[in-house]
Amino acid sequence: MLSKNELKQIRQLASKKYRSKTGLFVAEGIKVVREFCDSGWKPQVVYSVNELDFVSFTKVDKATLDKITHFSTASSILAIFKLPGEKEYSSDEFSVALDSISDPGNLGTIIRLCDWFGIKNIICSNDTVDCFNPKVVQSTMGSIARVNCYYCDLKAFLSNHTTPIYGACLEGIPYYTQDFDAKGLLVMGSESHGISPKIEKLLNKKITIPPASDGAHPESLNVAVATAIILGEIYRP
């Protein structure tokens, strides 16, 4: 049985401020928690309705998980992990940079895409949603355990970047005609406004995903979908 104080502290981990204060974050769902554990992360505590054979846990009932979940419907397991320490960024391989991505689902999907294509580093503007937001962690399906997200002043970072910088824009050369450097950086912009003008000025190459039809078509693509299309081309054999 969890105390009222314990219940409150777990619920407060929905807040970035409280995550930063405590150095902790929440992961929910059997696949997500297992991915963290299989990747070498050691949970502080695991609460589970069911028996587990891959990690030590505290048995709780469904009613308890309903009180501490960060979602509308609780899963059968909730774990608390320590936030990772600062890691040094390396530009020795292809990376992705995100400019003002606000939707947790989009960020989570992009992290999962990077994991799929073997991209280890994502550079995030300071106003991009926190990668350890419970909704982001959930939508990565555990990929956040293997992908490093760095938060910084993106303009300052790109100003000092030495490898080619590609950016997805509404106007640019078709993405499938561009040769991508193996140590390059792909910049993806916000859901509402795309890449900001101050960041666009720092791009070496502007690329676009042209519609297949000259007729009516959507104004733009979802940023996670666009990222998937471009990464698929970059890593095409």
**pLDDT tens per residue across span 50-68:** 999 999 999 999 999 999 9
Q: Do residues 137 and 112 lie in contact, with contact meaning Cβ atoms separated by under 8 Å?
A: no
Instruction: Please tell me if the domain spanning 4-82 has the same topology as the one spanning 95-234.
Output: no
CATH label, 4-82, candidates 2.40.50.100, 3.30.1330.30, 2.10.10.90, 3.40.50.300:
3.30.1330.30
Q: Which sequence spans correspond to the domains of the chain?
A: 4-82, 95-234
Q: Locate 78 and state its tokens.
A: 């909730």
CATH label, 95-234, candidates 3.60.150.10, 3.40.1280.10, 3.40.1190.20, 3.40.1710.10:
3.40.1280.10
pLDDT at 191: 83
pLDDT at 188: 98
Q: What is the DSSP string of the chain?
A: ---HHHHHHHHHTTSHHHHHHHTEEEEESHHHHHHHHHTT---SEEEESS--SSS--EE--HHHHHHH-SSSS--SEEEEEEPPPP-----SS-EEEESS---HHHHHHHHHHHHHHT--EEEEETTSPPTTSHHHHHHHTTGGGT-EEEEE-HHHHHHT--S-EEEEEEEEEEGGGPPPPTT-EEEE-BTTTBS-HHHHTT-SEEEE---S-SSS--SS--HHHHHHHHHHHHT--
Give the mean pLDDT of the chain: 95
Instruction: Report the alpha-carbon angle 129-46-78, nearest 5.
Output: 45
**What is the average per-residue pLDDT within 176-190?**
96
Q: Do residues 142 and 32 lie in contact, with contact meaning Cβ atoms separated by under 8 Å?
A: yes
**What is the average per-residue pLDDT within 137-141?**
97
126: left (phi over 0), alpha (psi -120 to 50) or beta: alpha
pLDDT at 86: 80
pTM above 0.75?
yes
Residue 213 has pLDDT above 90, yes or no: no
